[in-house]
Amino acid sequence: MNLKFHNKKITGILTVLPENEVNFDDEIDNYNFSKGQTMKLKLIMGYNKRRVIKKGTTVSDLCIFGMNYLFEKNLLKKDDIDALILVTTSPDHFMPPTSHIIQGKLDLKQDIVCMDINQGCSGYVIGLNQAFFLLEQDEINKVVLLNADIMSTKVSKNDRNNRPQIGDGAAITIIEKDSADNTIYGCVKTDGKGADVLIIPAGGFKLPSTPETAELKEDSAGNVRSLDHLIMKGDDVFNFVQREVPKMINDLLDKANCSKEEIDYFMFHQPNKFMLKKLADKIGVPYEKMPNNVVENFGNANSVTIPTVITYNLGKKLLKDSFLICMAGYGVGLSWASMLLSLEKLTFCEIINYK
Amino acid sequence: MENFESSITEILEVDSVELNDELDSFDAWDSLAVLSIIALCDSEYKVELSRDEIENSETVNGLKELIKSKM
């Protein structure tokens, strides 16, 4: 599905990462790895450090912390927020929506549109799409998009496929109407036939968590996990990404009549270094234009990785410069989505630590 | 397919392979090796393989034949 938006812009991006850092080297004993395998994983996948919450921290805690930072620094005014979107796969509760909990705790106005969206890896682009839809309304002038996930709590400590790459975090993006005449191009794709490729089987209404769903079992590849844990079929994900994403990007650029060379950065979802390099190869862009350093420094926090790759690699540069950016997210759903837009002179673009 | 054996020796971290070597007899045979083979086939031979297909091919030759059958 091709999408097109006019006269909208991103005006600020803040990433909130838990202060608590875990090192891959310290966790090696949890996995059945040889020393050689460990070295290879570090080198190829980029596993190194990752940020994870301390027990008890929730998605709303991370978001509220970041929002208060913006209020205190005078970078955002409470009364200006006309809509609040939270994209997460780890809500505080099944009900009420976590966006409403955040609205209440921050004492935001009642004249506001609030919604949760259940999306993971493609959730940044999907959240931006939703923000742009809302900004079509006369009375909605400023939208706050929250992306937050704490999946470290749902991954088995003996799951060597997933655990070393999962991180936690949140991001806050401000989206507003723009008087300048611009066009943003987007694309969203869905394949629910791949719903079981990335799944937490138990804990929902279909299969509530019980002592049985918590039983640990070893799979053929040596990963030990239960039905309560995140399960990912890594080879299926890899094949899906390499098959679909380059095609989507080529179509997006065609529609926008834009060449790869014109794009300053390809800010893509960050599952691991390996997958990003293979994507860059296949799309035909140099590695420098597609940063892949989020997993090695912070871990993969689902829809938070795209704002993190932007704040970490561009940061202050985005306060005075403009860059043409192509974004893409891909994963759980299956869902894949992309966007071509210009990021211009943001009011803020930084990373803060959650304490 | 002329580079196939040299690519496989690199992935399996050995000096040489025989066509009838069993894939899971190598020390370096693990999920990362499987992923490396998936990536190799995708970029070099434009062939998409699943983990199950690779594991079921059993030997170096079985893998080679599997790739050929999809080219």
Asked if A34 is an interface residue toward chain B (Cβ–Cβ < 8 A), one would say yes
**Could you tell me which residues come within 8 angstroms of residue A108 by beta carbon, excluding any fewer than 6 positions away?**
A78, A81, A84
Q: Over the stretch A86-127, which tens digit does the pLDDT of each residue have?
A: 999 999 999 999 999 999 999 999 999 999 999 999 999 999
* Cβ pair B42:A278 closer than 8 A: yes
Contact status, residue B36 vs residue A166, Cβ threshold 8 Å: no
Mean pLDDT of A32-43: 73
Q: Which of A325, A36, A283 is nearest to A184 (CA)?
A: A325
Q: Over the stretch A116-143, which tens digit does the pLDDT of each residue have?
A: 999 999 999 999 999 999 999 999 999 9
- Residues of B engaging A, defined by a Cβ cutoff of 8 Å: 13, 27-28, 30-32, 34-36, 38-39, 42-43, 48-51, 55
For residue B48, give the chain A residue with the closest CA: A239
For A318, half-sphere exposure in the C-beta direction (CA atoms, 13 angstrom radius) is 26
Mean pLDDT of B10-21: 90
Instruction: Tell me the fold of B4-70.
Output: 1.10.1200
Chain A residues inside the 8 Å CB shell of B24: none
* Cβ pair B35:A282 closer than 8 A: no
For residue A41, give the chain B residue with the closest CA: B32
Asked if A78 is an interface residue toward chain B (Cβ–Cβ < 8 A), one would say no
Query: Would you state the pLDDT for residue A328?
Result: 98
The single residue listed with the structure tokens 């990021």 is A343
Which residues are paired to A344 by β-bridges?
A322
Query: Would you state the pLDDT for residue A161?
Result: 78
CATH class given for the domain over A1-355: alpha beta
What sign does the CA torsion over B44, A292, A160, A334 have?
negative
Percent of chain A exceeding pLDDT 70 equals 99
> Count of CB atoms within 10 A of residue A32's CB?
14
Contact status, residue A24 vs residue A49, Cβ threshold 8 Å: yes
Q: Where along chain A do its domains lie?
A: 1-355
DSSP SS3 for A349: strand
Dist. CA A252–CA A326, nearest whole Å: 9
Dist. CA A261–CA A284, nearest whole Å: 10
What sign does the CA torsion over A35, A38, A43, A47 have?
negative
* Cβ pair A278:B48 closer than 8 A: no
* Cβ pair B31:A239 closer than 8 A: no
Dist. CA A246–CA A284, nearest whole Å: 9
Asked if A242 is an interface residue toward chain B (Cβ–Cβ < 8 A), one would say yes
Closest in A41, A242, A282 to B32, CB measured: A41
Confidence of residue A248 (pLDDT cuts 50, 70, 90): very high
Asked if A41 is an interface residue toward chain B (Cβ–Cβ < 8 A), one would say yes
Chain A residues inside the 8 Å CB shell of B49: 239
Answer whether residue B43 shows pLDDT above 90. Answer: no
Closest in B28, B36, B38 to A239, CB measured: B38
Dist. CA A199–CA A231, nearest whole Å: 5
* ipTM for the whole predicted complex goes beyond 0.85: no
Query: Would you state the pLDDT for residue A57?
Result: 97
> Count of CB atoms within 10 A of residue A213's CB?
15
The two tokens of residue A306 are: 């795209």
Answer whether residue A38 shows pLDDT above 80. Answer: no
